[in-house]
Amino acid sequence: MASTLEALERWVNEVAALTRPAQIHWCDGSEDEYRTLVQQMLADGTLIELNQQTHPGCYLHRSHPSDVARVEHLTLVCHPNQEDTGPNNHWMDPAEAHAKMDALFAGCMEGRTMYVIPYCMGPIDSPLSRCGVEITDSPYVVANMKIMTRMGKAAQERIEREGLLSDGVFVKGLHSTGELDPDRRFIMHFPEERTIKSYGSGYGGNALLGKKCHALRIASNQARDEGWLAEHMLIVGIENPRGETHYIAAAFPSACGKTNLAMLIPPEGYRRDGWKVWTVGDDICWMRPGADGRLYAINPEAGFFGVAPGTSDSSNPNALKSIARDTIFTNVAVTADNQPWWEGLPGTPVTDWQGRPYDPANGPAAHPNSRFTVSAKQCPTWSPKAEDAQGVPISAIVFGGRRPSLLPLVMEARDWTHGVLMGAAMGSETTAAATGAVGVLRRDSMAMKPFAGYHYGDYFAHWLSFDRPGARLPKIYHVNWFRKGRDGKFLWPGFGDNLRVLEWMINRVEGKVSGVETPIGTLPATGELKLDGLAIDPATMDELLTMDRAGWQAELAAIGDYLDGFAPRLPAALRAEQQRVAGALGDMPREAATA
């Protein structure tokens, strides 16, 4: 018997009977096990050894060309009642979904090894952590789960301890690469059963079931049931020259600089003054109210599964330093001396992500969604607090999107309900390169549109429920690093200079600056943003913090239309808040409309 927990042993045996593997391996998470897996994958071509002099312990994996990203249209959330899934998810009846998946899984592991991966999302000893077991036939998945989670013996022991007290409750994830056939590919979630079934893909977000599948889609349901939040957010610590650290959680849609903010390097003047930035997490944040009424957060992941293209010494030197060793690269190009390469790096590729001689006519050398998997502890700014069992106290929650106009550089919500409205309304405008249409606003509430595992209306209500007597909730902000001038150029420099905005937030949290109240929120008053050493003129700052009343009236109407899409489950308080802001804009004196 490989487990002392009867429920776990029974489930593994049921899966083995269905999938019929040649052998079963229970993963212990040891370094010896990892090295053995790597050697096995090097031998069969699953991994390719990179230049061990320049990148020790680094390997390249090339996935099937049809299997390079998450597949949202094949990702389903299977609540028994379709209404609970909401318009923000795809749905299938659970009984039908199980039947469909089990037919695919039948005999799929014949001739393969079935790996049993016990894992813990979050520090092993944290009461905020939650555990799962993934069964897979992919050694690549095992290797990545070793990096991305606390995986192996210690996790299994926690599962067995908890299982004796809670009737064997752990998240069950079953995965097979199958035939990598796009027509036989599904990622099914069963929130009430705490179960995930994924077939036909080896790509990270579809196959590393601890990541988006467990940590967001299933965990968002767990969080609602248990009174916490599972969010698509980075966690960053900002330490001031007095040695005090404030922790900030921030949610942005893709292509808005989440990892860059998590690993931010302060401007030279700030560094000289003693400011430091600490990385707790770059992608997922679980928050729970503490005994003192504050929200405490953990990063449930142990590694980074980052997008490689665009990661460079100028955009994110800390990320580049993190991946100089002991990293699995997926779908990047390689140079003549066998170093990993992607757009944004110096040098020249000779082989593209599919292993072909590089030809610009075939498109980018590295796939635009090529990835690196690396332990978070290798980041130069990694915070040891990431292992604290109690989590870190959150001082501020930040929402943001890519908006070339209207949205100011930063605004603070009036209160928690207003902040939830800010998060619900956030989104990004598309570019011609991405979609063929410019200026189409795609709202992505709390950056959770692909990941909230239940109806968005219920999700908003859950957020609102945290505002209760005794709560000491974080202040909520919205930022927009991407506002453009009439010349089409960005008005704000971004990157490390975003610390200037975070400092203003911290000063607001500490009551050191008053700001300027407007109907859309509190904006920085003149002189409150520290601009020393920044070549930016007062007129540009005025434009970054301008509030266009007519534009905002149209925006509030559009927000109302968007929220209507979640009726009848839209919380009345959120609709009332939208109407309150719209009314305040209408009541503004005309001469104050562009304050």
**Token pair listed for 226:** 């248990």
> Which pLDDT value is given to residue 435?
38
Q: In this structure, are 189 and 121 located in the same domain?
A: yes
Would you say residue 134 lies in a domain? yes
Residue 58 is among the residues annotated as catalytic for this protein: no
The answer to the question of residue 55 being in a domain is no
Percent of the chain at pLDDT above 90?
Answer: 93
d(CA 178, CA 263): 37
| 107 belongs to an annotated ligand binding site | no
Q: Of 378, 395, 394, which is closest to residue 299 (Cα–Cα)?
A: 394
Same domain flag for 178 and 252 = no
Residue 463, domain CATH: 3.90.228.20
Domain boundary among 333, 359, 378: 378
Residue 165 CB partners (closer than 8 Å, separation 6+): none
**455 domain-assigned:** yes
Q: Is residue 402 part of a domain?
A: yes
Judgement on whether residues 154 and 133 belong to the same structural domain of the protein: yes
Residue 58 lies in a domain: no
Residue 437 pLDDT > 80: no
Residue from 27, 120, 213, 256 carrying the catalytic annotation = 256
13 is in an annotated binding site: no
- Please give the pLDDT value at position 174: 98
Output the pTM of the full model: 0.97
Taking a C-beta distance cutoff of 8 angstroms, is the pair 117, 142 a contact? yes
Structural domain range at position 290:
234-296+386-592
- How many angstroms separate the CA atoms of 22 and 416, rounded? 55
Look at residue 54 and tell me if it is in a domain: no
Assign 230 a pLDDT band (cuts: 50, 70, 90): very high
Q: Residue 499: pLDDT above 70?
A: yes
Position 520 scores a pLDDT of: 98
User: Is 402 annotated among the ligand-binding residues?
Assistant: yes
pLDDT grade, residue 589 (50/70/90)? low
Mean pLDDT calculated for residue range 298-325: 96
Which of residues 205, 226, 247 is at a domain's end?
Answer: 226
pLDDT digits (tens, 9 = 90+) for 2-60: 888 999 999 999 999 999 999 999 999 999 999 999 999 999 999 999 999 999 999 99
Q: What is the CATH number of the domain that holds 37?
A: 3.40.449.10
Q: Specify the range with the lowest mean pLDDT, choosing from 138-142, 160-164, 189-193, 375-379.
A: 160-164
Residue 253 has pLDDT above 60, yes or no: yes
- Residues 292-301 have pLDDT tens digits of 999 999 999 9
Instruction: Specify whether 248 is located in the same domain as 392.
Output: yes
Tell me which of 167 and 39 has the higher pLDDT. 39
Phi-psi region of 194 (alpha: psi -120 to 50; beta: other; left: phi over 0): left
Total of domains in the chain: 3
Task: Give yes or no: residues 492 and 544 share one domain.
Answer: yes
In the structure encoding, which two tokens stand for residue 467, read together? 């505002």
Is 258 known as a binding-site position?
yes
Whether 59 is covered by a domain: the verdict is no
Do the domain assignments include residue 525?
yes
What CATH number did the domain enclosing 374 receive? 2.170.8.10
What pLDDT is recorded for position 595?
A: 43
- How, if at all, do strands 340-341 and 285-289 pair? unpaired
Is residue 254 a known part of a binding site? yes
- Provide the 8-state DSSP code for 497: G
Query: CA 29, 32, 37, 39: dihedral to nearest 10 degrees?
Result: 160
Where among 226, 254, 270 does a domain terminate? 226
* E strand or H helix that includes residue 6: helix 6-19
